[in-house]
Amino acid sequence: MVKKISVIIPNYNGKNLLAENLPKVIKNCPNCEIIVVDDFSSDDSVKYVKKNYPQIKIIINGRNLGFAKTANRGVEESTGELVALLNSDVSPRNNSVTAVSSYFNDRDVFAVGLCDLSHERNRIVKRGRGGAKFNRGFVEHFAISVKKGETFWVSGGSGIFDRRKFLELGGFDSIFAPFYWEDIDLSFRAWRKGYKCIFEPDAQVDHFHEKGAIKKSSSPFFIKVVAYRNQFLFVWKNIDNYFLIIQHILWLPYHIIRAALSFDFAFHLGLLWAIARSWRLVFDSRVNENPSEVSENEIFNRFNEK
């Protein structure tokens, strides 16, 4: 049976990107519900969509909420059984979004990652399939071969998700706001619940990273601080194996000293910011939920080779 798909595009000051990519989304996502969730943009994004694409549903945040809450709102107000999350700097090729719907006939499939044709400095790099390992007290994620198979995580900017499971897991966690690691966190929680994440290399999207909202609105140093902060928060939130926790604690002085010697002060700022935000983990239902079916080590052993 063909499942209905809702395409959700979180947007922040991306009028030019919408003008470039919406025609491709409409063309290559036939019979899909298309939703643009505007995160309190200061440009004419909303006006542009209303004028040129009246068939597209628009959701407008009353204030800037960040990616996680913006994407979650789109999923909550969508009507499809499946939700395709596409960044505003992403456009699907052919019928890549609808072509993967058959994967979800398997009730254990949580999400399918699309092959990200990343446009980087006048070349195209295929991305989208990831592995991970627990190394020196931290979770390290990395790219693995872009062939059909399981993936550690599915990107929140170019992935298809089972809507019911997405909502069951609580969606993206805003503790990682404004960006990064929320999709890795959600995929990891899905794996721990016994669900699967799949990568499909033949379902492709073009991704123009240099034009995206993050690099346009944030400095490289700030992006690095956020990435470090979220690396800490991911461990504190998701790792409950005592041996791995002890590793994290014992390796921490090494990382602090190493960062100081290399003048990588973004690491220290990320740590302090993570400590300041960690109180939220106490009240997070995503942390205090029912015991997981799959252990951390089982997952890392599945994906620890590049």
pLDDT tens figures, 188-224 = 999 999 999 999 999 999 998 766 667 677 799 999 9
* DSSP H/E element including 60: strand 57-60
Confidence (pLDDT) at 282: 79
Distance (Å, rounded) from C-alpha 151 to C-alpha 156? Answer: 13
In angstroms, the first-to-last Cα distance of the chain is: 36
Confidence (pLDDT) at 76: 98
Q: Which amino acid is at 33?
A: E
> Could you tell me what percent of the chain has a pLDDT over 90?
87
Confidence (pLDDT) at 209: 73
Confidence (pLDDT) at 49: 98
Q: Which amino acid is at 92?
A: P
**Nearest to residue 141, comparing CAs of 151, 149, 295, 156?**
151
Confidence (pLDDT) at 287: 55
pTM, to two decimals: 0.94
pLDDT tens figures, 35-63 = 999 999 999 999 999 999 999 999 999 99
Beta strands in 106-174 (DSSP E): 109-120, 123-127, 130-135, 138-143, 149-150, 158-162
User: Which residues have CB under 8 Å from 17's CB, separation 6+?
Assistant: 11, 88, 89, 208, 211, 212
Give 48's Cβ-side CA count (13 Å radius).
19
**Which string of DSSP letters, residue by residue, matches 216-264?**
HHS-HHHHHHHHHHHHHHHHHHH---HHHHHHHHHHHHHHHHHHHHTT-
- Per CATH, is 1-306 categorized as 3.90.550.10? yes
Confidence (pLDDT) at 211: 62
Query: Are 7 and 96 a contacting pair, CB within 8 Å?
Result: no
Confidence (pLDDT) at 1: 66
**Residue ranges, the chain, pLDDT below 50:** 288
**Nearest to residue 206, comparing CAs of 84, 119, 130, 144?**
119
Distance (Å, rounded) from C-alpha 293 to C-alpha 194? Answer: 6
Q: Is 18 helix (H, G, I), strand (E, B) or coil?
A: helix
Query: In DSSP terms, which residues pair with 57 in a beta bridge?
Result: 35
Confidence (pLDDT) at 286: 58
